[in-house]
């Protein structure tokens, strides 16, 4: 079994699912267990400056092996998994020498990953593909990134003859709930530039992402017995439906791709008396992003004018911004990563992220931080998979980037 696979299997055995709408960081105490494990492993590798802070951020240093001045390079991944699907009791399984057919994930339930639904599988014929049994997500987002960075660190620390500058490592909690950078110590991290290792399929390289906001909508109704409710009832559920129907039908994730933004209704619940809807708003264009926020505010104002002040309460909060403008002055980061990929026979795929990473916020906090692939697919759900060979190739990529930083 390869070293990166050993690390990966260990880390996915930890349930680190984060939880939305929790003010504390980490949002779940169980994330602290993996943080402590990673710190222990880093100390055993003889990494320096290993720290786990009060919020379970893990930091460490791979000391320089050359005396010449080289920018301090960081690598960052997150430890938590998505609240969207359980990460407890992950049962990984390896489909060896994948033959290009549908994958039966669970004999008992008949759950099958179909090539017709997930054609990316065909890119990996002849390779070894890791899936789950479908009862949990896999956790490649982002424990594959964590495993790849740890394998790189282990290799460099056990081969001090390899020339390189100072390398900083950071692992964050709560990225999946948008709080991964909240307490990241950029000054203490003391890197000049960094990469997050939190992308998808092998070759992905990203320095553009969505501008993002969250919108929490609360509808206050009036419940009256339906037999005597004429002129009195104000049905919060129906007003919630009206609210949603005033948003553009095709600005919805199921209809958008590339640079196209959306309003995504993430959750809803309620009664006649009170209803709630939680949205995420995304757009690569800052102008269109502001237009989307303005539209949802106008919907609130219109419904309050129609049904009475206080009927609709909208809480709108920006989450992160497109890091493109912060990376463009440092495009050598992209050039180095592309060159490293090409030398390793990986086809670079520079694409916009239809989401965000810790790197987006860190770039605005003064640490330019584009995003590298992990090798995984179908994150946040039961059909998540990752080829073993892709993880091994990403480890090679990280080492090659370190090499190129040393000789540039």
Cβ neighbours around 63 below 10 Å, total: 15
| Among 237, 241, 242, residue whose Cα is nearest residue 222 | 237
**Do residues 384 and 377 make contact, with C-beta atoms less than 8 angstroms apart?**
yes
Q: How many CB atoms lie within 10 A of CB 280?
A: 18
> Residue 34's CB: how many other CB atoms inside 10 A?
25
3 state SS of 231? coil
Which pLDDT score is estimated for 1? 52
- Count Cβ atoms below 10 Å from residue 373 Cβ, excluding itself: 27
Low-confidence ranges of the chain (pLDDT < 70): 1
Q: Distance (Å, rounded) from C-alpha 102 to C-alpha 117?
A: 10
Which single residue is written with the structure tokens 């699907």? 85
Closest C-alpha to 175, from 387, 353, 10: 353
**Per-residue pLDDT at 20:** 87
94: β partners: 130
Q: Quick one: pLDDT at residue 353?
A: 87
- Nearest to 390, CA basis, from 121, 202, 205, 203: 202
Q: Give the residue numbers annotated as catalytic, written as ranges.
A: 80, 175
Determine contact, residues 17/90, Cβ cutoff 8 Å. Answer: no
Burial class (CB in 10 A: 0-12, 13-18, 19+), 260: middle
Distance CA 6, CA 154 (A): 12
Residue 304: predicted pLDDT: 98
Question: Which H/E stretch holds residue 350?
Answer: strand 349-350
Tokens 């990376």 found at: 327
Which domains are seen in the chain, by residue range? Answer: 3-208+322-407 (3.40.630.10), 211-320 (3.30.70.360)
Helices (H), 203-311: 236-245, 286-307
Q: What pLDDT, on the 0 to 100 scale, is given for residue 284?
A: 94
DSSP string, 7-36: HHHHHHTS--B--TT--SSSSSTTHHHHHH
Give the per-residue pLDDT at 357. 85
Cα–Cα nearest to 3, from 33, 30, 41, 29: 41
What gap in Å lies between CA 169 and CA 139, rounded to an integer?
20
pTM of the model: 0.90
Please tell me the distance from the alpha carbon of residue 265 to that of residue 244, in angstroms, as a whole number. Answer: 8
């Amino acid at each position: 079994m390869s070293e990166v696979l050993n690390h990966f299997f260990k880390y996915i055995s930890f349930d680190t699912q984060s939880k939305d709408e929790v003010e504390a960081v980490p949002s779940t105490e169980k994330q602290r267990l993996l943080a402590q494990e990673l710190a222990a492993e880093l100390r055993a590798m003889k990494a320096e400056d290993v720290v786990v802070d009060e919020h379970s951020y893990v930091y460490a240093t791979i000391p320089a092996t050359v005396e010449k001045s080289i920018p301090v390079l960081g690598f960052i991944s997150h430890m938590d998994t998505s609240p969207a699907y359980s990460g407890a009791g992950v049962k990984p399984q390896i489909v060896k020498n994948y033959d290009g057919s549908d994958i039966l994930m669970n004999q008992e339930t008949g759950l099958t990953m179909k090539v017709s639904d997930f054609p990316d599988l065909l890119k990996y014929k002849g390779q070894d593909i890791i899936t789950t049994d479908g009862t949990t997500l896999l956790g490649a987002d982002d424990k594959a990134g964590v495993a790849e960075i740890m394998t790189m660190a282990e290799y460099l620390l056990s081969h001090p003859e390899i020339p390189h500058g100072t390398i900083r490592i950071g692992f964050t909690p709560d990225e999946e709930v948008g709080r991964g950078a909240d307490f990241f110590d950029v000054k203490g991290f003391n890197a000049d530039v960094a990469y997050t290792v939190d992308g998808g399929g092998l070759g992905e390289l990203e320095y553009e992402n969505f501008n993002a906001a969250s919108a929490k909508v609360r509808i206050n109704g009036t419940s009256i017995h339906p037999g005597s409710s004429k002129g009195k009832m104000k049905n919060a559920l129906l007003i919630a439906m009206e609210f949603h129907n005033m948003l553009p039908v095709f600005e919805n994730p199921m209809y958008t791709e590339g640079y196209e933004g959306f309003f995504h209704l993430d959750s809803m619940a309620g009664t006649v008396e009170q209803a709630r809807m939680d949205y995420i708003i995304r757009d690569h264009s800052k102008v269109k992003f502001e237009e989307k926020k303005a539209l949802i505010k106008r919907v609130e104002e219109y419904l309050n004018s129609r049904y009475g002040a206080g009927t609709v309460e909208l809480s709108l909060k920006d989450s992160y911004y497109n890091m493109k403008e912060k990376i463009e002055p440092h495009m050598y980061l992209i050039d180095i990563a592309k060159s490293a990929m090409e030398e390793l026979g990986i086809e670079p795929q520079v694409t916009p992220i239809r989401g965000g990473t810790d790197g987006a916020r860190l770039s605005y906090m003064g640490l330019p931080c584009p995003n590298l692939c992990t090798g995984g697919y179908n994150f946040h759900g039961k059909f998540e998979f990752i080829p073993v060979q892709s993880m091994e190739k990403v480890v090679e990529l990280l080492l090659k980037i370190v090499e190129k930083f040393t000789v540039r």
